[in-house]
Amino acid sequence: MSQLPYTQLEHLFNRIYQLQHLASIAHWDMAAMMPAGGSQARGEALAEVSVMMNELLSESRTGDLIHLAQEQQTALSDWQQANLREMHRLWLNATSISSDLVKAKALAGSECEQAWRSLRGENNWQDFQPLLQAVIRLTIEESQQRAAATSLSPYDALLDLYEPGQRSAAIDLIFSELVDFLPDFIQQVVARQADEPLIQIDGSFSIESQRKLGLRLMSEVGFNFDHGRLDVSHHPFCGGVPEDVRITTRYCETDFSESLMGVLHETGHAKYEQGLPKQWLNQPVGAARGMGIHESQSLFQEMQIARSQPFLQFAAPIIQQFLAHEQGDKQCWTAENLFKLNNRVKPDFIRVNADEVTYPLHVILRYEIEKALINETLTVKELPEIWDEKMQHYLGISTAGNDKDGCMQDIHWTDGSLGYFPSYTLGAMNAAQMYAAADKAIPDLSQNIAAGKFTTLNQWQQDKIWSQGSFFDIDGLMVHATGEKLNSQYYIAHLKHRFLPE
């Protein structure tokens, strides 16, 4: 007797998950360990795996099984029905784009990303431009194929890959509210902070001391080293799979906070991965619920917790233990001084190093540019110029002639990941709302954090967010975790409370 359609689908998606597992580890190795000479062969291998996964998803038999399973879904459990819904969504995504385009984009993306790792450091826009142009050309083609299949606009068809159900029209409204709020707020915060005394921490901090500090705080906040590790790459990221999470950072010997906060940020991503429902890990419903939710967990860990006064009260002695011997002035290591240093607002070039208040403007700039690229109202050749214009408009600084800190600074566009950037600020808003809900549910939350006790908070996140995987849609998960859909006022209230307390 043949298996039921749904059971056959579970077997199929388990096969796809195993391929994703291998591809994820190979991507991590490419970024963290692989010698440069292996890039072409690795790119070709990963492109082949991408084609295999796409073909498994998009073959007609898969679609037939999904339709048959949908006819019988009343016999399925709630989690199985949610899994079938996610299977259908992934199948639609896969059938919207040709296998030839999947392979061509993977190859072009691999070549562009590998070249970026050296060309960015050289500030070599001239040689990088044609490689990026090839990726963007293929991404435009992808957006048009997806738009034709989904009846969405080309940009929304890409956005939907990262934020299912989200549309640029809604994001335009949210971001316009931030553009109205942030510029004046930034000026007020900068003016207040100018009158606040603080001690700069100058010195050289060895990479090994920074690494040990990062490992210690990762352990304190609940990272499971039996199922993950920390390494180095050009651009910090969280990769691998839930059973084997790989996070990376980069070190600056004159600024330990860059690495430390980067490590804690990626640890937020990693804890989410490690907390996903184990019985569903090889199925679509067991995956994280979109990039905005994923980013909410990294920003929850970094912005809501790690840069807060209670956390720094707990962490200050540990930071001093690992680093103070490399800097003589002990007064600079107080929790109060570390809080001021880690929440200093200053418009600057680099998104990943930006403070919490200016960060959304970095995202809005990229969002506007990538929309224009996909809509073909902007060319890759014009990127340096438009980047400089928007940086001056939003943040009052120029990137003219400094492309490595301008349009070449991010890895995302090198493989055609356009539609991703809005997730960062959506994630910040989600994080603020989630923390407000956790604070309400755990009356002594601040005291727990100040004492280095994270078990109750981690369990709240496990129950409300991590263990839910993709059982809910985005709105449903926010309601489950916080009692309401995303409300930007929590984010604005958080910024006011932290940076302009009354």
Q: Facing residues of 248 across strands? A: 231
Residue/partner pairs of 18-26 with CB below 8 Å, 24 or more apart: 18/282, 19/49, 19/52, 19/53, 19/56, 20/53, 20/241, 21/241, 22/49, 23/49, 23/50, 23/53, 24/239, 24/240, 24/241, 24/246, 25/239, 25/240, 25/241, 25/244, 25/246
DSSP state of 254: T
Please give the full DSSP string across 284-350, using - where no structure is assigned: GGGS-SHHHHHHHHHHIIIIIIITSHHHHHHHHHHHHHHHGGGS--GGGGSHHHHHHHHT-----S-
DSSP tag of 157: H
Q: Which residue has the tokens 């995303």?
A: 486
Give me the residue label for tokens 């994270």: 454
| Count of CB atoms situated within 10 Å of the CB of 337 | 19
Q: How far apart are CA 473 and CA 86, in angstroms?
A: 10
**Which residues have C-beta within 8 Å of that of residue 180, sequence separation ≥ 6?**
none
273 classed as catalytic: no
Structure tokens at 498: 């932290």
Residues 6+ apart with CB under 8 A from 72: 4, 5, 6
d(Cα 198, Cα 269) in Å, to the nearest integer?
31
Tokens of 68: 């048959």
List Cβ neighbours of 473 (8 Å cut-off, separation of 6 or more): 164, 165, 289
- Do the beta carbons of residue 397 and residue 391 sit within 8 Å? yes
Give the long-range contacts of residues 328-335, CB within 8 A, separation 24 or more: 329/199, 331/199, 332/199, 332/200, 332/201, 333/201, 335/309
| Strands, sheet with 244-249, edge to edge from the N-terminal-most edge strand | 228-232, 244-249, 238-241
**Residue 321: which residues within 8 A CB-CB, separation 6 or more?**
none
Instruction: Answer for the pair 208, 257: CB distance below 8 angstroms, yes or no.
Output: no
Q: Furthest-apart CA pair in the chain: how many Å?
A: 78
Active-site entry in 86, 142, 258, 266: 266
Q: What is the CA radius of gyration of the chain?
A: 23
What is the rounded CA–CA span in Å between residue 180 and residue 193? 21
Instruction: Cite the active site residues.
Output: 266
